[in-house]
A and B are shown apart, each in its own frame.
Chain A
């Protein structure tokens, strides 16, 4: 077993060179390079975390924006609907008042026409009466030779007309 057989002659060189090369490994690689490698890893992890946070923030912002837009949209829609309803109401009221005005105008015209008709009828009736009176006087004078006064004739005509 050379490990034991050569121990006396080689141990110092083994220890010496191990300390030299392990020392180089520790100070150059372990102390010098490994922290930089780990720093890179930490940097990357930080970058990833930051990117994720940024993405999350952006998504939240987008969500908030969308929510705000939705609210605004709903408000706008409600406002539009209110405007439409108002316009409808106004139009309805206007047409109603117009209709009312037209109706009243028609009513007035109708009433006027009716009174005119009534007037015309009474006028016509009185004319008919006077004609009838004159006719009655004439008939009486021709048939009976008697002269009938106008009031008497009028009275008789009225009676006859009332009887129909």
Chain B
């Protein structure tokens, strides 16, 4: 870094680079290069697989690992049952996958692996990724809604007890707010993750530049920034959990709309 004029670009961490000459891979004309983003999706999947595998011992008296995994499945199960009811149990596989995938991606992206030379990449800070996840959730809502209620699903846009003259005004508003859901869902996660990582990067550049500028600046800028960074790191871990939770919670709330209509 010092050799590169100590210029820290806080946005550089989000750059996607094809790995090991896969830049030319294509399917039907679309580029499918195996990028660092894809690598971290792979790592997330593998870590999550190992994590859940540890909970598959199926012992009657669970060990710590099994207990942890069961806590997560129980958490998702309870959330779906609280929001949707008994019918919510069939969405546990999807919402669990969604929650754990986002949670592990967020947390793995925060791991201080730069110390050993690896560069963590938080793919949830790309709206291409969060957008696809949001669209999947939204598509499930639409499919379930139209499957269960047919065209009656459109009555979702007319809240209970709306006076008849108000319907032409309320319905478009409800429709717009419904259509905004996938965007808000995807953007919320993307923005939260990106903002946190930019903040950490900016603070770390303060630490590095301040320390390089001599004892005085290291004491005035570097040290406070470093202390602040420790706090922000803890906050980011919290945000990683909260954003995964919010994504899963909103998905379950939207599915509830489709499942129970009102």
Evaluate contact between B32 and A3: CB separation under 8 angstroms: no
Give the distance in Å from the alpha carbon of A92 to the alpha carbon of B101 in the complex. 95
CB within 8 Å for A29 and B133 given contacts A13-B33, A16-B30: no
Evaluate contact between B16 and A10: CB separation under 8 angstroms: yes
Number of interface residues of A (CB under 8 A): 37
**Interface mask (B22-65 → A, CB under 8 Å = 1, otherwise 0):** 00010100111111011001101100110011011011101000
Within 8 A of A (CB), among B1-23: 11-12, 14-16, 18
Evaluate contact between B30 and A1: CB separation under 8 angstroms: no
A36: min CB distance to chain B, Å = 6
Evaluate contact between B48 and A29: CB separation under 8 angstroms: yes
For residue B209, CB closer than 8 A to chain A, the reply is no
Interface locus among B122-130, B214-222, B234-242: B122-130
Q: Could you list 13 examples of A-B contacts with CB < 8 Å?
A: A2-B16, A3-B190, A12-B32, A14-B132, A17-B41, A18-B41, A18-B123, A26-B93, A29-B48, A36-B56, A37-B52, A38-B73, A38-B74
CB within 8 Å for A15 and B132 given contacts A2-B15, A34-B52, A47-B60: yes
Give the distance in Å from the alpha carbon of A41 to the alpha carbon of B74 in the complex. 8
Evaluate contact between A17 and B132: CB separation under 8 angstroms: no
B126 proximity list for chain A (CB < 8 A): 3, 14
For residue A43, CB closer than 8 A to chain B, the reply is yes
Evaluate contact between A37 and B31: CB separation under 8 angstroms: no
Evaluate contact between A34 and B15: CB separation under 8 angstroms: no
A9 proximity list for chain B (CB < 8 A): 31
CB within 8 Å for A12 and B16 given contacts A2-B11, A25-B48, A29-B49: no
Evaluate contact between A22 and B101: CB separation under 8 angstroms: yes
Chain A-chain B contacts (Cβ-Cβ < 8 Å), number: 139
* CB-nearest residue of chain A to B51: A29
A22 proximity list for chain B (CB < 8 A): 41, 97, 101, 132-133, 136
A37 proximity list for chain B (CB < 8 A): 52, 55-56, 69-70, 73
For residue A106, CB closer than 8 A to chain B, the reply is no
Chain B: interface size category: 35 or more
Evaluate contact between B100 and A12: CB separation under 8 angstroms: no
Within 8 A of B (CB), among A1-51: 1-3, 6-7, 9-22, 24-26, 28-31, 33-38, 40-41, 43-44, 47
For residue B200, CB closer than 8 A to chain A, the reply is no
* CB-nearest residue of chain B to A35: B93
Evaluate contact between A15 and B45: CB separation under 8 angstroms: no
A16 proximity list for chain B (CB < 8 A): 27, 30, 32
* CB-nearest residue of chain A to B102: A22
A117: min CB distance to chain B, Å = 104
Give the distance in Å from the alpha carbon of A44 to the alpha carbon of B230 in the complex. 41
B94 proximity list for chain A (CB < 8 A): 26, 30
Evaluate contact between A14 and B45: CB separation under 8 angstroms: no
